[in-house]
Amino acid sequence: MNPVFRAIVMFAVLWMVFRVGGRRTLAELTTFDFILLLVIGDAAQNALVGDDFAMTTAALVIVTLMLLDLGVGRLSLQSNRLRRVIDSVPVIVIDNGRVLDRVLRREGVDLDEVLTAARERHGLERLDQIKYAIVERHGGISVVPKEA
Amino acid sequence: MTTTDEIQIERPEDFLSRERLVQRAGVMILFLFVVAGATGAFGNGPLSRATTTAGGVELRYERFGRTTAPTAIEITVTTGAADGEPVRFRIERRFMERLDQLELRPEGVFKGFDATYAVFEVPAIDGRGHVELHFKPQNPGVRDMSVVSDAGTAQLRQLIFF
């Protein structure tokens, strides 16, 4: 198959896998997640170039992937609805100190991770000092402290 | 560095507008590169597929190829020979000697070199002899080739990219 079409197919497959798999930032990767990413990268590379090691092929694959990423990014700016589909939405997991357990579970985030973010970024010690904790589109956790 | 009362930050507007212009032009060039690749300007697509016919010799090949990427030349020589009778043709020796990782289909059709040519002989089916040369070019550049037979002489030219 032409390398451009290989790149388009693999981009779609990887996008679907990671979109369905949920958001998780690099900082929160477990050792197994990291190994899994390496294996996925290796398998994707084989699918993208196979035994065709020409520089032109590599350039075509790289440029195609880059343009697709750029295109998807631009597309997500066109409408809020598209952006939701592409990047999901920020989700509140702590609302005025109250933990929204079901939402937390659904997002695959542990309460400890939220408390860690609260300690690291704001020096907060307790749950009741948190006004909002939000799992952002990119998978990071934002914490808004209660006003003293 | 331009500063305002509020924040000390570089604000080179001229540079930023030039940068945006270059980025837009760059994206357009990259887009055209991908379109060219998808249509076969670097091999493996409709722009690349070619057929040359001269007399009873037909060559199907790719105009463009890439080093290490598999490509093939299909040679069909129509002589009207009865089934099983040999169909003979020759390919320039210097071209054959430059083919890398060559695989012939069917096997056993290469009969040897004479002074200038590689000689092939294949049993006819429906009055035609058909041979495929599958190979992976290892070096970039232009390759010319002629297939010579009693039925005619056909030529092709391939451009191999890095």
Can you list the domains of chain A with their CATH numbers?
3-87 (no CATH), 91-145 (3.30.240.20)
Alpha-carbon distance values, A68 to A48, A57, B46 (Å): 15, 16, 22
- Residue at A148: amino acid letter: A
Residue written as tokens 């722009």? B47
Is A67–B31 a contact, with Cβ atoms under 8 angstroms apart? yes
Judge if B30 and B68 occupy the same domain. no
Residue A121 token pair: 């970024």
- Per mean pLDDT, which range of A15-24, B128-137, B138-147 is the poorest? A15-24
Same domain, B29 and B61: no
Residues B22 and B66 in one domain: no
Distance CA A8, CA A4 (A): 6
Q: Can you tell me the distance from the alpha carbon of B155 to that of B162, in angstroms, rounded to the nearest whole number?
A: 23
**Predicted local confidence at residue A148, as pLDDT:** 67
The confidence band for B99, taking pLDDT boundaries of 50, 70 and 90, is confident
Q: Are residues B157 and B85 in the same domain?
A: yes
Mutate to test the interface with B, among A2, A62, A67 (most CBs of B within 10 A): A2
pLDDT of B1 strictly over 60: no
Report yes or no: A3 at the B interface, CB cutoff 8 Å.
yes
Contacts of A5 in chain B (CB under 8 A): 38
Counted domains in chain B: 2
Q: Nearest by CB to B38, which of A2, A52, A57?
A: A2
Helix (H, G, I), strand (E, B) or coil at B95: helix
* Same domain for B91 and B27: no
Structure tokens at A2: 């032409």
Same domain, residue pair B122 and B147: yes
Q: What integer pLDDT is reported at residue B3 of this predicted model? A: 55
Write down the pLDDT at residue A29. 75
* pLDDT under 50: residue ranges of chain A: none
pTM (two decimals):
0.78
Q: Range of B5's domain?
A: 1-39
R_g (Cα) of chain B, nearest Å: 25
Nearest-Cα distance to chain B for A10, in Å, is 15
Same domain as B102, residue B25: no
Interface of B with A in 40-59 (CB under 8 A): 40, 42, 44-45
B141: in domain: yes
Q: Is the ipTM of this complex over 0.85?
A: no
Same domain, B63 and B112: yes
Q: Beta strand pairing status for B152-161 and B64-66?
A: parallel
Q: Is residue B74 in a domain?
A: yes
Task: Provide φ and ψ at A13, rounded to 5°.
Answer: -65, -50
Residue B44 lies in a domain: no
- Partner A contacted by B139 (CB < 8 A): no
pLDDT digits (tens, 9 = 90+) for B29-76: 999 999 999 999 998 899 999 999 998 999 999 999 998 888 999 999
| B31 and B59 within one domain | no
High-pLDDT (> 90) share of chain B, %: 57
Report chain A residues whose CB lies below 8 A from the CB of B48. none
How does residue B4 score in pLDDT terms, banded at 50, 70 and 90?
low
**Would residue B34 count as lying in a domain?**
yes
Alpha helices by DSSP H, B66-162: 93-97
